[in-house]
Amino acid sequence: MTMKALIQRLVFVGAWIDKGCQIFLGIQAALLLILVTVQIALRQLDVSISWATELSCLLFIWMSLLGSAISSRYLLHIGVDVLKDRLKGKVKRAILFVSHFILLIGLIIFIFSSFEYTLAQIDHMATTMPKISLAWFYCSLPICGVIMLYYTIIQLLELHVYGDMVKLELSPEAEEPGEEVVL
């Protein structure tokens, strides 16, 4: 299998991961909207659901991290684009490679650290939801870290093989995974 074929397969799998993340993100957003709306309505009646705030936080944490993972696929993470856009040729390629390699190392450290922390939280229960382990809050860290790592590896391979990373457009036109609109 050639490197280009490998990249194409990885991108195809990444498209399915992305689609799954987007569906999960949509479900979480709907649940959060319903939960917050019910909380607001019940507050007007002087009724409070003790676990609703904590569950809202859990959903918000997951949504934030999944959104970060998705944005890393589309190269929408924070960067110094002004500098990157002015660079050309081998210098640009070298800077992109070094920055993504540092990101790769940082993500590996992040994944292992957050995995250890998540494991340490298994026996701790949420304050207002005593049957729910705090590990559910923190397991979003290593899961989303692995997704970001996957996309970063693809981007490094693209940089090595094509000389640049393929910038995908986050577009509703791309309905099937693997059919992204390339800029």
Mean pLDDT of the chain: 87
* CA 160/CA 165 separation, integer angstroms: 9
pLDDT at 183 over 60: no
3-state SS, one letter per residue, for 56-107: HHHHHHHHHHHHHHHHHHCCCCCCCHHHHHHCCHHHHHHHHHHHHHHHHHHH
Residue of higher predicted confidence among 183 and 84: 84
Question: What backbone phi and psi angles, to 5 degrees, belong to 158?
Answer: -60, -40
State whether the Cα torsion 57-62-68-74 is positive or negative. Answer: negative
pLDDT at 59 over 50: yes
pLDDT at 116 over 60: yes
pLDDT at 172 over 90: no
The answer to whether 68 and 77 have CB atoms below 8 angstroms apart is yes
pLDDT at 23 over 70: yes
Q: Give me the pLDDT at residue 12, please.
A: 93
> What percent of the chain lies above the pLDDT cut of 70?
91
State the pLDDT confidence band at 80, using cuts at 50, 70 and 90: low
pLDDT at 126 over 80: yes
* CA 60/CA 82 separation, integer angstroms: 31
Tell me the mean pLDDT in the region 94-116: 94
State whether the Cα torsion 19-21-27-33 is positive or negative. Answer: negative
